[in-house]
Structure 1
Amino acid sequence: MPLDPTTMAAPTHPPVSSQDADQKKPMSKASAITAITIGGALELYDSGVYNFFAMLIIPLYFPVGNPFGQLLLSFGTFGAGYLMRPLGGLVIGAYADRRGRKPAVLLSMWLMAFSALILVVTPPYAQLGIMAPVLMIVARLIQGFAIGGEMGSATAMLMEYADERSRGFYTSWQTASQGIAAVFAALVALVLSHSLSPASLEHWGWRVAFLIGILVIPVGQVIRRRLEETLEPPARKKAAAGGWQLMRQYWRELVASVLLMTGLAAAVHLIAYYLPNYATFQLNIPRGDAVWAGFVAAGMMVIFGPIAGWMSDRFGRRTIVWWSRLALLVMAYPAFVVINAFPSLTCLLVVVGCLAIPMAMTSPATLVLVSEVLPQRLRATGMAVTYYVAIAVFGGFAQLFSTVLIHMTGSPNAPAFYLIGCGLVSLLGLAMVPETLGRKLS
């Protein structure tokens, strides 16, 4: 769905002097959406890279002899970063609702760079001892805090650039940015995995992936420097005094949002992140090949996210959420049965591609639905906190819970029950919110 700069030109501003014309010349809406999307993708890249290399990194920093314990540590440390996301959403989201979307996005971007730097320079446990896992956890916590702030601020900015007829499409580019980040991370992981020996990849290769993440952060800042602030001045003044009051006033919408986000979090993290690791330890597909599953899932997000956003502007938010969640509920168990019956890379990629389509469809419709039921003074904070409360519990630890379910039940298909359970819970949230298509933003 191409964005048309001629029909989405940003409001004109008073003339500026020639010497700072380049700095103050307003961007078209198409350029602004592109800048927000690319900047968000660059910022989320580090989290994707960590996922692809988690099973390689964790043994270097958390030496455990038991393979099952090693797997739990791998997924548990991955989830630790998610615990900070609600706090980051609350703190940086409140900053975005008070001071503006743009400074909040830039702050979270540089925090991401700092966390990646810690990962790049920290020696393994064999060289540094107990400080190695401590620094690893600190880096993950900072990374989670930064991502928690980016989500609400960037999504609010995307929505506030749009009008009543295009908010779903504009918001869908947040989903696309997540897909672009995962595609970028998967490509880097694939190149490093296939071009380096296992010893080189373990010794220094994975650090190159995080170093790339640090280098692209300044690029993201340059891309976003000309963005216009979308938070209106009256909202800035009211936000400082009314944030907690608004949360009490809109508690029903916030609860519904968390429930809605639960199904989304479980779907994204099981399909896009868990299945590549599942393919390695359960299906015995080489790590370098299994990464392709993450690449396929991310590609579906890039392609079908904007399509779903456009459809939600035509048929309604709740309609798209309902049918996409229902498709995931129906497909989840058969998908795991198939990949375990035919444990090949081809089968894995086909199954992931099929699951990723409804996953990609449900994401933008959910994000815009949640955003539209919240007032502007609570939008960035509410979006970030509800999204990352669900992500922290049901997304970040989805891999851990799924692994424990397999161990407890003895069934390799057990992760499907987790996805189905979260999906059913999310339908309760859908029943609590009205259709918001065409609603004027408060």
Structure 2
Amino acid sequence: MNASTLHTDPDAAAPAPASASRVSRAKAIAAITLGNGLEFFDFTVYSFFATTIGTLFFPVHGALNQLLLAVGSFGVGFIVRPIGGVLIGAFADRAGRKAAMTLTLWLMALGSALIAFAPTYAQIGLAAPALIVFARLVQGFAVGGEVGASTAMLLEYADDDSRGFYGSWQFVSQGLNAVCGALLGVALSATLSPAALHSWGWRVPFVIGMLVVPVGVYIRRHLDETLAHAEPVDADTPVAVAARPLREIFAHHRTALVAGVLTTIGGTAANYIVLFYMSTYAIKILGLPMSVGMSAALVAALVTAACSPFAGMLSDRFGRKPVLGVSRVLLIAVIYPAFLLIHSVPTVPAVLGVVAVLGAIVAFTAVPNIVMLPELFPQSMRVTGMSIVYCVGVSIFGGFAQFFATWLIQLFGNPLAPAWYLIGCGAVSLIALPWIREPAGRPLD
């Protein structure tokens, strides 16, 4: 099967939008996107305190080397995302979206708890960085299944003319939770002394993230299942559960897999550089105070969250491919001048203005991308297919975007190197657009 027939699944009943009868659409959107939003809350605060975590858990020589190890541990969680995507995605395609999303929330809570209460290198030696890495692996495994299940469920709640708008709330939740993480980071840095922040203040956000999970599990209990034929999986091993959709996907949906990964590369690299790395860049490369770096991330997240619903509606009206393609070309055109401007004029207004513009462009390039991915696969393998595509692209080019950017600066001695990374990823991602049939407005199943 090629990309022109990727939407057909005659054996699967189309999920009725009326499945939201027990809960309003707004509450359903909030409940569905909660887990993925929580991931970005944790990621935001981890990025903000990367320099602190590097000092406490990776005591190597040189501040830049400590930062490399800290952002490297941030990225290591992405290595297991494809595994989580396959196993939890297959579970979601058989047992249902709700069961899978509940599992991922509890795994996220475990990862947050491990980071929140991890002893430092000074207390337990090499076991300390190992514990941080293990916590990131647990969270990465969980998110690998969470994104696919929650995005698929959003689209299955929508009708054919509003899937872009519904799917956009996946990205809105990421932006709003990044805003919450940024506000908390700013509040902690403003109210605590540097010694207190270094000693225990950086742990507070992870404790909050851990405590939010039981609330999310309770809220999600009231969702209606959108999988047409959910079935028990108690008697099967995880490998057996995952085998069936994997065989189908690799046998009949190879074009969708390759095209989906390529388009994801450009969107995820832009997302993680603009929303997360720019704060670290402002602090470590431009030499601005931590409060400015956090404010930059706050502005980027606010603008991205505000623009995302409009990006979704625009993709419903004009199509996913045109909105994605135009915005991605625009990002390629402006990213180098943007880095050149803030390096030449490292002032607060310049940095905040640049991240605001980039945040808006990121919304219009990332939203149609993430909405399009589950539309490439039929319902019986939708979560598995999207999870593989999304996680492979994000694992390398998103999770390690901060590491690659910092490494390129160190390698070439050029503070503008992150711009070339984004340009390369964006250019590669445009190659796949001709392979994909426009999914907007067509029946999902």
> Would you call these one fold, judging by a TM-score over 0.5?
yes
Runs of at least 4 residues off by over 6 Å: 234-240
Q: Are the aligned partners of 2:308 and 2:363 in contact in 1 as well (CA < 8 Å)?
A: yes
| Cross-structure match for 2:422 | 419
Does 78-87 or 413-422 show the bigger shift? 78-87
| Cross-structure match for 1:259 | 262
| Cross-structure match for 1:249 | 252
Shift of 1:121: 1.6
Q: 2-side partners of 1:428 and 1:211: how far apart?
A: 42
Q: Are the aligned partners of 1:173 and 1:306 in contact in 2 as well (CA < 8 Å)?
A: yes
* 1:88-237 paired onto structure 2 within 5 Å: 88-233=84-229
Q: TM-score, normalised by structure 1?
A: 0.92
Residues 12 and 267 from structure 1, CA distance in 2 versus in 1: closer, same or farther, beyond 3 angstroms? Answer: closer
| Cross-structure match for 1:314 | 317
1:129-150 CA-to-partner distances (Å, cap 9, x unmatched) read 1211111111111011111111
**Corresponding residue to 1:41 among 21, 37, 42:** 37
* 1:401-412 paired onto structure 2 within 5 Å: 401-412=404-415
Structure 1: which amino acid aligns with 2:305? V
| Cross-structure match for 1:30 | 26
1:146-179 CA-to-partner distances (Å, cap 9, x unmatched) read 1111100000000000111111100001011111
Shift of 1:247: 2.7
Shift of 1:288: 2.2
Q: Are the aligned partners of 2:94 and 2:230 in contact in 1 as well (CA < 8 Å)?
A: no
Q: 1-side partners of 2:205 and 2:24: how far apart?
A: 33
Unaligned runs of 5+ in 2: 1-15, 234-240
Q: Are the aligned partners of 1:266 and 1:422 in contact in 2 as well (CA < 8 Å)?
A: yes
Structure 2: which amino acid aligns with 1:11? A
Aligned length: 423
Q: Which structure would you say has the larger RCO, counting Cα contacts within 8 Å and 6 or more residues apart?
A: 2
Q: 1-side partners of 2:35 and 2:279: how far apart?
A: 26
Shift of 1:39: 4.6
Q: Could you say what secondary structure the match of 1:233 adopts? A: coil
Q: 1-side partners of 2:345 and 2:216: how far apart?
A: 42
1:176-215 CA-to-partner distances (Å, cap 9, x unmatched) read 1111111111111111111101110010001111111111
Q: Are the aligned partners of 1:44 and 1:147 in contact in 2 as well (CA < 8 Å)?
A: no
Q: 2-side partners of 1:280 and 1:147: how far apart?
A: 28
Does 226-235 or 352-361 show the bigger shift? 226-235
* 1:367-382 paired onto structure 2 within 5 Å: 367-382=370-385
> Cα RMSD over matched residues?
1.9
Q: Could you say what secondary structure the match of 1:312 adopts? A: helix
Shift of 1:235: 8.9
Q: 2-side partners of 1:12 and 1:171: how far apart?
A: 17
- Do structure 1's residue 11 and structure 2's residue 18 form an aligned pair? yes
Unaligned runs of 5+ in 1: 1-8, 14-24
Q: Are the aligned partners of 1:321 and 1:366 in contact in 2 as well (CA < 8 Å)?
A: yes
Residues 205 and 250 from structure 1, CA distance in 2 versus in 1: closer, same or farther, beyond 3 angstroms? Answer: same
Residues 56 and 414 from structure 1, CA distance in 2 versus in 1: closer, same or farther, beyond 3 angstroms? Answer: same
Identity among equivalent pairs (%):
47
**Corresponding residue to 1:364 among 363, 367, 372:** 367
Residues 31 and 234 from structure 1, CA distance in 2 versus in 1: closer, same or farther, beyond 3 angstroms? Answer: closer
Shift of 1:408: 2.3
Does 61-70 or 130-139 show the bigger shift? 61-70
Q: Could you say what secondary structure the match of 1:343 adopts? A: coil
Q: 1-side partners of 2:436 and 2:180: how far apart?
A: 35
Residues 408 and 184 from structure 1, CA distance in 2 versus in 1: closer, same or farther, beyond 3 angstroms? Answer: same
Structure 2: which amino acid aligns with 1:96? A
Shift of 1:240: 6.5
